[in-house]
Amino acid sequence: QAARLRQGRPTTPAPRGGQPPIGPIHQPSLYQTSATPANNSVNHVQGPPRSRVRRRAFGGGGGGGVGGVVRVPLRRRPGHELISAHLRRERDALLAVLEGGGSGSSERDNDGAGFSAPRPASVARRLRGPADADFVADDDGKDENIVIKDYANAQYYGVVHIGSPPQEFTVIFDTGSADLWVPRKGCHNCGYCNPLTKDTSVCKDKYDSSKSTDYEADGADFAIQYGSGSVTGMFSRDTVTLARDIAVPSQRFAEVEDAKGMGVGYVMGHFDGILGLAFESIAIGGTTVFGSAVERGLVKDPVFAFFLGDEGDGELTIGGYDPDKFEGDLKYVDLDRATYWQIALDGVSVGDRYSAGRTTGIVDSGTSLLVGPSSEVRKIADAVGAKANVMGEYTIDCERVSSIPDVAFEIDGTEYTVPGREVVIQANNICLFAMMGMDIPEPGPKWILGDVFMRQYYTVFDEGNKRIGFAPVK
């Protein structure tokens, strides 16, 4: 066992083909902990006592020792950039239709590779919504997963390092996926640097294995199919540093060679890659970065927590949580499935204009918006006066924002509300209604509670007890 851990090999083989972010769910988590299972009642919280976690996290200088708790700062993307990305995607989609499938506007990254607007078939799929994504058959008859997720909506980014000496990457810490990937040197469709303005804000940092003394060749193929195309590359191993004193040696991750499937959301996004924080059972590459850190004793308790700033930056706490970030006590709810962070929802309502009964949802730090079934979101949009654009997203007259009723999710007997004004992303006199329709195939979740929800509630992800804790942010 010790030898196996030193080699950094997964404790269990990865499922064939893995499973992508926000896709159909297959099996319980392969990663088990020794923690006591949580009681179903929120009044009888089990697991690591809060006082013990607090001492380790914030006593004696705020943590940072082996087995302690560390904080990872998260930068928030300005609202006007998010609006610009949405407008750009809509423009490219229209251009693709008008030009009969031509490339539309093309931009070059700093390696000379281009990015093209989607072809009409892809546009048609988007007009129907990512909802139509499902399992599809490859030419060889094998199942291939289509990722029904759009990182154009992501707003919070943090930093990790890979290699020795460390190479820095900005990533989305994503509870809706389980793998780590970054672009490699020479990656195609991986962003561009404007040669005229010398604007490097959307340039991608790219992994160079030749510069790391800890690099280990792996060579296995990595591929995820997105709605607009594939993201491909290969697996490698290297030291991945999450934060001070959490350096995971020989961690398996993917070097992406072609990121065309990420679309314009990636080209314009201020992030290089994705670090998944979902369960190992949906990881393509085997043991997750967080799982490896726990196995090696770098993180004592398999717990992490998100604080997302309302108007500013946020914070990811690894190994515990920060009680100074929330009011009252945490209320825990057991997971419906330990694959994504999926929970049962007792109901969803929007003031007195909409209500729905029991359903399911996942809590997803990699999605900015609230996402629900297309037909239901359409009803909600009609009720509040939001209008759909060509991409199936909704905008609303900024003068009507103050009249939007609160959105409420009932979870394990407790109602969690998001003020109506917070369900809008506003910039440059444009108001984006932060709710999107998407029909996720069974047995996947019906709703995705993204950053719009998480900004209101400090969220603790307790992997050991397979539960999530919520408390209002201060």
Is residue 381 situated within a structural domain? no
- Preceding amide of 445 cis, omega within 30: no
pLDDT in tens, 364-403: 998 888 999 999 999 999 999 999 977 678 999 999 999 9
pLDDT score recorded for residue 62? 33
- pLDDT band at 154, cuts 50/70/90? low
Is residue 175 situated within a structural domain? yes
Report the percentage of the chain scoring pLDDT > 90.
Answer: 49
Is residue 279 situated within a structural domain? yes
Pairing label, strands 467-472, 457-462: antiparallel
Is residue 219 situated within a structural domain? yes
Which is nearest to 160 in space by CA: 274, 254, 55? Answer: 274
Q: Alpha-carbon distance 393 to 90, whole Å?
A: 9
Instruction: Tell me which amino acid residue 284 is.
Output: I
Residue with the bigger pLDDT between 390 and 271: it is 271
Which is nearest to 57 in space by CA: 329, 291, 301, 365? Answer: 301
- pLDDT band at 75, cuts 50/70/90? confident
Q: Which residues touch 349 (CB under 8 Å, ≥6 apart)?
A: 355, 356, 407, 408, 410
Residue 137 has pLDDT above 70, yes or no: no
Q: Which residues touch 45 (CB under 8 Å, ≥6 apart)?
A: 38, 39, 330, 332
Q: Alpha-carbon distance 405 to 380, whole Å?
A: 10
Residue with the bigger pLDDT between 447 and 140: it is 447
Q: Alpha-carbon distance 56 to 70, whole Å?
A: 10
pLDDT score recorded for residue 214? 98
Is residue 441 situated within a structural domain? no
| Residue 343 token pair | 């929970």
State which residues form the domain around 258: 95-295
Is residue 223 situated within a structural domain? yes
Least confident of 26-30, 46-50, 148-152, 346-350: 26-30
DSSP letter for 143, please: E
Which is nearest to 341 in space by CA: 294, 312, 303, 392? Answer: 303
pLDDT score recorded for residue 170? 92
Residues counted in the chain: 474
Residue with the bigger pLDDT between 326 and 69: it is 326
How many domains does the chain fold into? 1
Residue with the bigger pLDDT between 29 and 109: it is 109
- pLDDT band at 343, cuts 50/70/90? very high
Is residue 220 situated within a structural domain? yes
Is residue 319 situated within a structural domain? no
Which backbone phi and psi does 63 adopt, to 5 degrees? 85, -175
Residue 200 has pLDDT above 80, yes or no: no
CATH number of the CATH domain containing 208: 2.40.70.10
pLDDT score recorded for residue 261? 85
pLDDT in tens, 203-257: 899 999 999 999 999 999 999 876 556 889 999 999 999 988 899 999 999 999 9
The 3-state DSSP class for residue 239 equals: strand
The gap from C-alpha 27 to its chain's centroid, in whole angstroms, comes to 20
Residues forming the active site: 174, 364
- pLDDT band at 73, cuts 50/70/90? confident
| Share in percent of the chain as helix, strand, coil (round to 5) | 20, 35, 45
Least confident of 4-13, 349-358, 367-376: 4-13
